[in-house]
Amino acid sequence: MSFDNFENDWLRDNYGFQMDLSIKFLNAVFSELITKGQFNEENVMNNVVDKQIFNAEYLLKLEAALERRFAGDYFSAIHILTPLVENTFISLSKLVGLDTYTYNGKTVSTRNSNLSPEMLRSKEYQDTWGEDFCIMLNFFLLEPNAYRFRHKVAHGEITMTECNFTTFNVLFFFVIKMTLMIKVEEK
């Protein structure tokens, strides 16, 4: 460990250990759900559709990711699911009233909003989504000294061995966690 970038090195080493434990727990939970026949395409899609927060285009993409996963094609499933995690976060953040186009209320983005470490570190987002969830999402998808899955998928750097049961479970956990955190109320 270097003291040149102590905060990032500490995060990678110590949070990485906690993340590895969380991932092992997720794998055990998903394995149990699959064994009991509770985690399948139909059950997942019914639960997501019942939330009534996603449009048909989104649901088709999620269904395609699940279809590929249950066909054992983790490579395709992860390539569909990774950008869908970002889309889910941005879409649901807009839905609950978070500003996804300006950063700290100062700089207006001239392109579509993208998930960023700055967004996930902001008080506004951490107050809404939870500090732990924002740190986990950043650590897995974006952090340069961590997993970097968003960047690996976007830039074609992901290896075939990284496209597996575990990676799918983590990405899918993000989608389900965000979906379950939102409650739609009729006005």
For residue range 124-171, what is the model confidence (pLDDT) as tens digits? 999 999 999 999 999 999 988 889 999 999 999 999 999 999 999 999
For residue range 21-30, what is the model confidence (pLDDT) as tens digits? 999 999 999 9
Q: How far is the CA of 91 from the CAs of 47, 49, 55, 95, 183, in angstroms?
A: 18, 16, 11, 6, 14
Give the residue extent of every domain in the chain. Answer: 6-181
> Residue 167 phi/psi, 5° resolution?
-60, -45
Evaluate if residue 5 carries a pLDDT over 90.
Answer: no
Q: What is the pTM of this model?
A: 0.88
CB-CB contact of 144 with 150 (8 Å): no
Assign 114 to helix, strand or coil. coil
Residue % of the chain over a pLDDT of 90: 71
Please state at what angle helix 131-141 crosses helix 165-181, rounded to 10 degrees: 150
> Residue 95 phi/psi, 5° resolution?
-60, -35
> What integer pLDDT is reported at residue 99 of this predicted model?
85
Assign 108 to helix, strand or coil. strand
